[in-house]
Amino acid sequence: MTERRWLAVMFAAILALAGMTGCTAPNPVDMDRAITLTLVRHGQSEGNLSGRMDTSVPGPPLTDLGSEQAVMIANRLSDNRYDGIFASTMIRTQQTAEPMAHRCGEMVTAVEGLQEIEAGVFEGQPEAYAVKTYYGDIVDWTIGNRDLRIPGSIDGNEFDDRFDRAIDEIYATGVLRPIVYSHGAAIAAWATMNAENSRPDLMKTAPLPNTGYVVLDGKPGDWKLVDWNGTQVP
């Protein structure tokens, strides 16, 4: 981890500890520990059902099917005993996280920076069209073209920086097995851009469906991809 990145993570840890209350001092957070990070895409939203791009915040809620999917993924993954439940600032991720939070006895914590990648000029366009435009630009980020900007939106560096900050904030809370509810393009792009054993081909051959997930082991600046929606990654 670079010195700049380490300082950023330490600062996040200080802020996290400063926000704690109680009469006893909190245990110090090990800022060199390895964790297992699970990233889950939200269930089907009203935006998905419409067939059009909707990256607005807070965005549309889940459909009835999306709510069922949220329960199903909670049932499937809850044996992993997550010690922190986090979600983006968008309604659909927080709703998807609720069944897992209930099963684990945890609260859902919304974290800025986990939101979907803004569609820019493609907002409201058919999702089928966006595969070759919006999503195509994001795939380019993962193969080194991070300066490429989605028209009317952000570039790969800006996206990676903000998602990094969100993960740093989560790491600084001291969790060992966090589950983080985010968005399909954001999860796939960040995991591919940051894992030492990244597989950019998976973004095209195995795009994450609603409630699809990715698992990484490691710590900020040192991640290894281990599972892409049920497929083990060597």
Condensed to tens digits (0 to 9), the pLDDT of residues 15-29 reads 444 443 333 344 678
Flag the least confident range among 24-38, 60-74, 139-153, 177-191.
24-38
Helix (H) or strand (E) holding 226: strand 222-228
Q: Which of 106, 116, 169, 183 is catalytic?
A: 116
E strands in 26-183: 35-41, 84-87, 108-110, 178-182
- The helix-helix angle for 64-77 and 91-104 (nearest 10°) equals 40
Higher pLDDT, 27 or 210: 210
Let me know if 42 is a catalytic residue.
yes
Which fold, 35-232?
Rossmann fold (3.40.50)
Which one of the listed residues 42, 106, 169, 183 is annotated catalytic?
A: 42
102 is catalytic: no
Q: Which residue has the tokens 């082991």?
A: 217
pTM, 2 dp: 0.88
